[in-house]
Amino acid sequence: MDVTTPAGAAPANAPWLIVGLGNPGPEYAANRHNVGFMVADLLAERIGGRFKRAGKAQAQVVEGRIGPPGPANRRVILAKPMSFMNLSGGPVNALKDFYKVPVANVVAVHDELDIDFGVLRLKLGGGDNGHNGLKSMTKAFGAEYHRVRFGIGRPPGRMQVADFVLKDFSSAERKELDYFVDRAADAVECLVIEGLERAQSTYNS
């Protein structure tokens, strides 16, 4: 018998789909907008997997498990949409349906302008705050998925937002980036294994 969490959430044995948002291609790899890809790459490394094309879905995936042996062990699918940011919803929806992942077990890891660099905020549902990847996902299957929001701060001076997010992290930011990406990966693992409330109390700073 499946055990469900309160408020009609997903069965305890349902898989999780962890989506790192970004743009494909080496020219975008170090952009602020691609921090979701960076976190997904680290999570794949931790579970000993390598991203590969996911059948007909326009995405790369890694399948594996995280957590200690026993009831807390979780099946996860890590994904990086290859459709460009503003079309992320289609590939993510296809993966969600293929792997039979409840919407509440989808986690989007993404850059967040309204949070200082390196600061994390985890939440369930809500608006997209102008983020095109979230906007596309919400249009595809609704807003009630989890978000791990990685702060990148606001553009300096009069720099346009689009220019800012598509630039690489600054040299000063790069000195701390690995630490913050590592912490974001920890937060994702905590969310999946121990739940949103525990992850928020530990990583929302």
Residues with a catalytic annotation lie at 33
Burial 72-89 (b: 16+ CB within 10 A, else e): eebbbbbbbbbbbbebbb
Q: Which amino acid is present at 49?
A: G
Give the span between the Cα atoms of 176 and 74, in whole angstroms.
29
- Looking only at the bridges linking them, the beta strands covering 106-112 and 16-20 are parallel
| β-sheet with 59-66: strand ranges across | 52-53, 59-66, 74-81, 16-20, 106-112, 146-151, 120-124
* DSSP one-letter string for 74-107: EEEEEEEESS-GGGTHHHHHHHHHHTT--GGGEE
